[in-house]
């Protein structure tokens, strides 16, 4: 099976599930975030196993952050993250294994801090009063469009490398194609509610912010993979790689879009 066909099949199977649970929101969406987050954190710790992350503390922290964000506010999620920090230090001390405790604990905290809050901010975006569902749909559809058209644009027209030191396969032409698609999808999704939610200008800015944040998330994972000497974070999703390869764009885009929408609506 070709890489393109594999990507197409995985996307066709997974996208309706994600959008359906996003529509339902609440604990349905939270359960999806926890399940995907646990897989992604596991992939992160496998990829960085030479740095000796404390997996139990990281997984517990991710669940704590996501449950806290679904039930309460960011403050409780920060508490869950700090609890994960304390647990990581305790377990590292009890294990007495070799290697830097600082590095081990730092890598452990990367899981719940980056992946936990990245997915958790999707939950907070979805739970915004009034237009949270619409905002979450706009952001996720924009991210998916950005990823898809960046890939297709790069394959068809890619000539100039975007960040050769981090990800040789990404091109400037693909980035521009993804940006245009991302801004367009955000505009179309939010256009009907331009008088009651975000204006046309605000929708375009949101699309542009997502178009910048999503590739940044992708390049961040590429940097980690290059640092660890691996091509993909896993094989779970075929040509897409691992779960972390699939959600990397969302993790940065969710943070940028949540706080932008919050600034617009507060």
What would the two tokens of residue 74 be? 């960011």
What is the C-alpha separation between 241 and 26, in angstroms, rounded?
28
First to last CA, the chain: 49
pTM confidence score: 0.91
pLDDT(240) > 70: no
The pLDDT score that the predictor gives to residue 5 is 58
User: How confident is residue 234, by pLDDT bands cut at 50, 70 and 90?
Assistant: low
Q: What burial class does residue 192 get, using C-beta atoms within 10 Å of its C-beta: 0-12 exposed, 13-18 middle, 19+ buried?
A: exposed
Tell me the per-residue pLDDT of 168-200, one tens digit each, with 9 for 90 and over.
888 999 999 999 999 999 999 999 999 999 999
pLDDT of residue 1: 47
Strand 167-171 to 161-163 pairing? antiparallel
- The answer to whether 136 and 20 are in contact (CB under 8 A) is no
Residue 168 belongs to what H/E stretch? Answer: strand 167-171
Task: Write down the pLDDT at residue 72.
Answer: 76
Q: Tell me the CA distances in angstroms from 150 to 55, 133, 170, one per residue in order.
A: 34, 26, 8
Q: Where are the chain's structural domains?
A: 1-25+131-266, 26-126
Name the band, by pLDDT with cuts 50, 70 and 90, for residue 6.
low
The strand pairing partners of 171, in sequence order, are: 161
Distance CA 39, CA 46 (A): 11
Chain segment 138-174, per-residue pLDDT in tens: 999 999 999 999 989 988 888 888 888 788 888 999 9
Please give the share of the chain, as a percent, with pLDDT higher than 90.
72
Write the DSSP assignment of 169-235 as a string of letters: EEEHHHHHHHHHHHHHHHHHHHHTTTTTS--HHHHHHHHHHHHHHHHHHHHHHHHHHHHHT-S-S-S
3-class state of residue 124 by DSSP? helix
């Amino acid at each position: 099976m070709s890489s393109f066909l594999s990507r197409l099949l995985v996307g066709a199977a997974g996208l309706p599930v994600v959008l359906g649970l996003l529509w339902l929101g609440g604990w349905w969406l939270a359960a999806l975030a926890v399940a995907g987050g646990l897989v992604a954190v596991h992939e992160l710790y496998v990829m960085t196993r030479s740095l000796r992350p404390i997996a139990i503390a990281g997984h517990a922290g991710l669940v704590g952050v996501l449950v806290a964000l679904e039930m309460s506010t960011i403050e409780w999620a920060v508490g869950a993250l700090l609890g994960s920090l304390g647990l990581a230090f305790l377990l590292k001390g009890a294990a007495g294994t070799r290697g830097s405790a600082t590095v081990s604990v730092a890598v452990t905290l990367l899981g719940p801090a980056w992946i936990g809050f990245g997915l958790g901010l999707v939950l907070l975006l979805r739970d915004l009063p009034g237009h949270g569902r619409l905002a979450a749909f706009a952001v996720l559809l924009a991210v998916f469009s950005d990823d898809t058209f960046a890939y297709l644009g790069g394959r068809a027209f890619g000539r100039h490398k975007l960040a050769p030191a981090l990800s040789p396969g990404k091109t400037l032409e693909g980035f521009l194609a993804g940006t245009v698609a991302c801004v367009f999808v955000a505009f179309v999704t939010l256009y009907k509610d331009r008088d009651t939610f975000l204006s046309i200008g605000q929708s375009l800015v949101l699309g542009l912010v997502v178009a910048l944040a999503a590739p940044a998330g992708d390049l961040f994972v590429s940097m980690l993979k290059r640092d660890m000497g691996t091509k993909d974070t896993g094989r779970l999703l075929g040509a897409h790689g691992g779960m972390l390869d699939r959600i990397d764009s969302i993790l940065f885009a969710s943070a940028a879009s949540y706080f932008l929408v919050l600034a617009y609506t507060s």
